[in-house]
Structure 1
């Protein structure tokens, strides 16, 4: 099968199109013919070797944890699915092995859910990792109807989902963004405020009593501003800054969860959640897709079309 892989850590230049054996299918897994995958910031982190101390790495590494595709073969214990089912998944395994930038991928059923009927293959591929990060973070912070939520980096891949999901939970959402992207935040249902020195004043102008929840998706020490914009009972979380614990908050991570993924699909099919695709690349241009994702100058998801 065709795949993109790398045999050493490094920049996008280590990525190359190769021919690899068809993956074996475990008892609780299925083989998926990949239609599309997407690029996430963690792909660069893994490719540069920064997770090598946390997860075993098996070269050659096929990058990618997001998938949208069709079930082609079943494992011995996979009653949840049938051959021909259209699925999406956050296919993170216990080691860095068998990624999704390939024609075929073996995926545990615990990482999969039915593809939302309303989404294209490219849109569906952009949903799993970023969508789950947003959904699980907001759930862990206890966001509910009536809360006012401040989301730092509201136009990023996770942030754009977080704004929409928090709105679906019944919350009011304020989101930091560059001025050029304020209309985009409004289109998602949020109230935009600028980054930087004017942020605290702008948030207080919108929420004089302070916000109830702060979700940091950008890092850079922004969690330190929380006392200036929040109530004394604020719920604070960050996916980008482990130092959040020093400010009384929670460092958030994401895990595969088929139930949560199915709920994201339901939100998409109900019209409450849309997926913004910034650009679609063919498999052969995966290195360029990684470069664009790492540039920080992209609004929405960077997707790789495989099928």
Structure 2
């Protein structure tokens, strides 16, 4: 089968399409015939060598976190799935080094859920990593209905999911985004604040009683965003190297996304109900994975960048 790999680190040009063996599902695992996968900054970090010091010594690294496709084979002991089912799944790449950017992917059944009916396979492929990260980040904030959440990067692929999920849970949402994204943010039911050096002050004006109850920092603003959070509030980062030091009793955490089939089913149900809208920025055939990585490096992407296998 074809797989997207890197044998050396560098720019998008180091991406190769290699022929590798089709993986076999073990006990409790599912093999998925891939139809679409998303390309993420985490993939670019592996490709570029930015996280090389965390990687095992291997001749090549196969990339990929998300997968959308159909069940191709079931390992022993798998219940609840049948061959041909449309599914989505997540591989925690940094934990397993099990890349999904290939014609087939094998995942634990617990990391797989139903694909949302009535949604294109390319849109479905944008759900697993960003959808689960957004959902689990909201859980980390501990907020309840009526409280105020700040989302930086609210128009991005991850931030857009965080805004939608938070609004759906009855939170008051303030989202920082560019001027061109104002209509998108307000259309989701959130209040918009223009990104820039005055963003935190603008947020404080919208949340005058000491600041917002919590922030989810998808734009990696770090310490500068902490001033927008009230004392004893919560701050959730999506990358360890951008976690600020706690101050004023603010609880600081970083999300380490976990594959969760039940939560994937929840995201699929919200999508089917029209309460969560996946967005596709662009799509490329698997053979043009290098072009997808080049697109990822550009500014202004909105939604997922997707590779298709057919």
- TM tier, shorter chain? over 0.9
Q: Give the SS at the match of 2:62.
A: coil
Q: Is the 8 A contact 1:143 1:169 kept in 2?
A: no
Matched with 2:288 is: 285
TM-score normalised to structure 2 length: 0.92
Structure 1, 10-19 or 130-139: larger mean CA deviation = 10-19
Where does structure 1 lack aligned partners over 5 or more consecutive residues?
none
- Pair 74,45 (structure 1): closer, same or farther in 2 beyond 3 Å: same
Shift of 1:79: 1.5
Q: Give the SS at the match of 1:72.
A: strand
Q: Is the 8 A contact 1:15 1:286 kept in 2?
A: yes
Structure 1, 103-112 or 58-67: larger mean CA deviation = 58-67
Shift of 1:253: 1.6
Q: Give the SS at the match of 1:295.
A: coil
Matched with 1:27 is: 27
Which consecutive aligned stretches of 4+ in structure 1 deviate over 4 angstroms post-superposition?
none
Shift of 1:52: 3.9
Which runs of structure 2 are paired with 1:203-222 in the superposition (5 Å)?
203-209=203-209, 210-221=211-222
Matched with 1:233 is: 232
How many pairs does the alignment contain? 304
Matched with 1:244 is: 243
Matched with 1:122 is: 122
Matched with 1:276 is: 279
Spell out, residue by residue over 1:73-112, the C-alpha distance to the aligned partner (whole angstroms, 9 max, x if none): 1111212311111110112253323x22211111111211
Cα distance in structure 2, aligned partners of 1:243 and 1:40: 18
Matched with 1:112 is: 112
Cα distance in structure 2, aligned partners of 1:220 and 1:200: 11
Cα distance in structure 1, aligned partners of 2:229 and 2:18: 51
Cα distance in structure 2, aligned partners of 1:39 and 1:57: 23
Superposed CA RMSD: 1.7
Matched with 2:37 is: 37
Cα distance in structure 1, aligned partners of 2:17 and 2:200: 47
Q: Is the 8 A contact 2:229 2:235 kept in 1?
A: no
Matched with 2:265 is: 262
Cα distance in structure 2, aligned partners of 1:201 and 1:53: 38
Matched with 1:171 is: 171
Q: Is the 8 A contact 2:146 2:170 kept in 1?
A: yes
Where does structure 2 lack aligned partners over 5 or more consecutive residues?
none
Structure 1, 233-242 or 282-291: larger mean CA deviation = 233-242
Q: Give the SS at the match of 1:126.
A: coil
| 1:4 and 2:33 matched | no
Matched with 1:64 is: 64
Shift of 1:189: 2.1
Q: Is the 8 A contact 1:242 1:251 kept in 2?
A: no
Q: Give the SS at the match of 1:192.
A: strand
- Pair 57,29 (structure 1): closer, same or farther in 2 beyond 3 Å: farther
Matched with 2:160 is: 160
TM-score normalised to structure 1 length: 0.93
Shift of 1:57: 5.5
Cα distance in structure 2, aligned partners of 1:57 and 1:301: 30
- Pair 87,5 (structure 1): closer, same or farther in 2 beyond 3 Å: same
Cα distance in structure 1, aligned partners of 2:141 and 2:89: 24
